[in-house]
Amino acid sequence: MKFAIIGYGKMGREIHRIIESRGGEVVLIIDKDNAEDMSVQNLQKVDVAIEFSTPDTAYSNIVKCLEAGVPMVCGTTAWLERLSEVEELCKAKNGKFFYASNYSIGVNLFFKINAELAKLMQPFEQYDVTVEEVHHTQKKDAPSGTAITIAEGILEGISRKQEWVLGDTCDAGKLGVAAIRRSIVPGTHTVTWESEVDTIEIQHTAKSRAGFALGAVVAAEFLVKQPSGIYSMNDLL
């Protein structure tokens, strides 16, 4: 299988390593220094593209791939205000698009545990809940897309929280999401349910980028075998 990697930072290089370890071939690498190489002619040489760039460039990268007829796996976050436009374009072009806020298999299992725990906690109003995420200082968006997905899972499960907010809050109807930037941490997400008498806590800690990169490559391998449409980690799992 022939791959394009769009965005060649630390994640892009890890994706490259995993693709080759699984017998794939990277035939196109696009980064900020050679954006002009992302032409229809070059894109049509690949079977699938994996995109981990920046919030400012993600949308245009996705559009170029879909218009070129190339299946696209996107891992960039903080651009989702334009997701509906991407979905419409994907349908219009009869394309294939895969998006997840986090490609780690472990994180996606964590999403399901978190959502189920929120449902279990619905009757127990003595427990308040908060979310905390810790990432490396190079991460541009806050909170992380993963933290937002976690918060949305909690909001779906308990009616006493109406929305999430960045940072601490004294409003009982709001879910506080703390975003901490520290050193080289790949990513730690913690959900804490606290009452006057005890604390319940679930946490996912990434040890490296390898789990995220592997999930993105597996998603790409999955996507090329599917009919046209829009896919997520729920489909893959």
**Does residue 4 carry a pLDDT above 80?**
yes
First to last CA, the chain: 21
Out of 64, 96, 139, 204, the active site residue is 139
pLDDT for the residue numbered 140: 77
Nearest Cα neighbor of 229 from 79, 86, 77, 52 is 86
**Does residue 122 carry a pLDDT above 80?**
yes
For 28-77, how does the pLDDT look when each residue is reduced to its tens digit (9 = 90+)?
999 999 999 999 999 999 999 999 999 999 999 999 999 999 999 999 98
Out of 64, 135, 161, 204, the active site residue is 135
Q: Which residues make Cβ contacts (< 8 Å) with residue 166, sequence separation at least 6? A: 142, 143, 177, 179
Which two structure tokens, joined as six digits, stand for 207? 């040890």
Nearest Cα neighbor of 72 from 48, 88, 41, 43 is 48
- Average pLDDT over the chain, rounded to an integer: 96
> Higher pLDDT residue, 136 or 128?
128
Q: Are 105 and 145 in contact (CB under 8 A)?
A: no
pTM, whole model, 2 decimals?
0.82
Q: In whole angstroms, what is the distance from residue 231 CA to residue 171 CA?
A: 36
Which two structure tokens, joined as six digits, stand for 78? 């903080």
- φ, ψ of residue 198 to 5 degrees: the values are -165, 175
Active site annotation includes 189:
no
- 141: confidence class by pLDDT, cuts 50, 70, 90: confident
149-156: average pLDDT: 97
In the chain, the domains with their CATH numbers are 2-103+210-236 (3.40.50.720), 105-205 (3.30.360.10)
Q: Are 186 and 206 in contact (CB under 8 A)?
A: yes
pLDDT for the residue numbered 217: 98
3-state helix, strand, coil in the chain (%, to 5): 40, 25, 35
pLDDT for the residue numbered 184: 83
168-172: average pLDDT: 95
Q: What secondary structure does DSSP assign to 130-166, as a single string?
A: EEEEEE-TT--SSS-HHHHHHHHHHHHH-TT--EEEE
For 195-230, how does the pLDDT look when each residue is reduced to its tens digit (9 = 90+)?
999 999 999 999 988 999 999 999 999 999 999 999
Active site annotation includes 135:
yes
**Does residue 186 carry a pLDDT above 90?**
no
